[in-house]
Chains A and B, each alone.
Chain A
């Protein structure tokens, strides 16, 4: 009976066991500010004791190009390979996770065997704090300030600020040329709800950081309280 149970367990493990062994399924990359794309490699080995086919792979985003080493999709027991994911930065900044899903053999459509993650840290060269200024309707319409700080080894100058609405006045104050600025915003009329979008144009050499935007809102007090919580 022990032998039969042993064979049963071995067969179960053989059928159900993880087919491809990835030492890591997460690659973190700290990207330099000026690169257009980064590459992450994921090595794997077939430790299942049976041949494994990579049925398909899905980068879940047009910004990732996926290549399997030499286009090889069939792996005999003990064979190793590599998945290469090339991530195009586009106009993203901050931390971005991108997934690559791999379906092996007869995986169900909604259950890929392997999920790989490329975590890219893209520097924020122009920091805006806070991102949104808020006033309450019929409150005090006092000026508020957005601090603009450049986090780059070369100076980044603010060339100008444009506003989407006449409901706010704004003034740009240079604290340190190429390093630090204040954008001071004052509502003209505090009696009606309103949204203003301010676009801040800089001379940053890296295109995706050139234009930034911040918001100013006049809204009724704490509108989030008026809606039901889940």
Chain B
């Protein structure tokens, strides 16, 4: 058999295998999946935080995103240059005094800002337990725990 025919056979077998997998197992899940084995020491999976847990959520995204669809009752703390860092510090100090379990989230697992914010909250040494939510806002949104954006 000529190489191009062999190539066509390989391609056909691969396509058949892919279609078979799709037919048997369905389309790939696009939902965020938190793997506890891959968590860093200060990471948490949303599944371990009950919806009614006494948690102070800190949104590390932009102010516009936080206002649009942040977690109800959450605080904003991001690293935008237009924001007042000392106002963020003061607000977290007041709220963490009443709710010493703080979880920071940003857009998704790739954004990286939430870990920096968690570090800044820890540096305040308020005595709060500070964690980073793996999967960020995406995980919260998929679990239906975010504020619904206002209807247009």
Which residues from chain A sit less than 8 Å from chain B, CB to CB? Answer: 1, 3-5, 7-8, 60-63, 88-92, 94, 96-99, 101, 110, 112, 115, 117, 130-132, 134, 193, 195, 197, 211-213, 215, 217, 219, 222-224, 226-230
Q: A4-B6, A195-B97, A215-B124 in contact; A62/B129 too (CB < 8 A)?
A: no
Interchain Cβ contacts under 8 Å between A and B, 24 examples:
A4-B6, A5-B10, A8-B10, A61-B78, A63-B81, A90-B83, A91-B84, A92-B85, A96-B116, A101-B110, A110-B110, A131-B123, A131-B125, A132-B127, A193-B97, A197-B90, A213-B86, A213-B89, A215-B126, A223-B100, A224-B101, A224-B127, A227-B100, A230-B131
Whether B7 is near chain A, meaning CB under 8 Å from some CB there, is yes
Task: Determine if B97 and A97 form an interchain contact, defined as CB atoms under 8 angstroms apart.
Answer: no
Which residues from chain B sit less than 8 Å from chain A, CB to CB? Answer: 3-4, 6-7, 10-11, 44-45, 48-49, 53-54, 62, 78-86, 89-90, 93-94, 97, 100-101, 107-108, 110-113, 116, 120, 123-129, 131, 138
C-alpha gap A153/B28 in the complex (Å): 59
Chain B residues with CB under 8 A of A212: 86
Closest CB-CB distance, B40 to chain A, in whole Å? 12
Q: A5-B10, A97-B116, A132-B124 in contact; A61/B80 too (CB < 8 A)?
A: yes
C-alpha gap A195/B97 in the complex (Å): 8
Chain B residues with CB under 8 A of A222: 127
Interface of chain A, main secondary structure: mixed
Closest CB-CB distance, B96 to chain A, in whole Å? 9
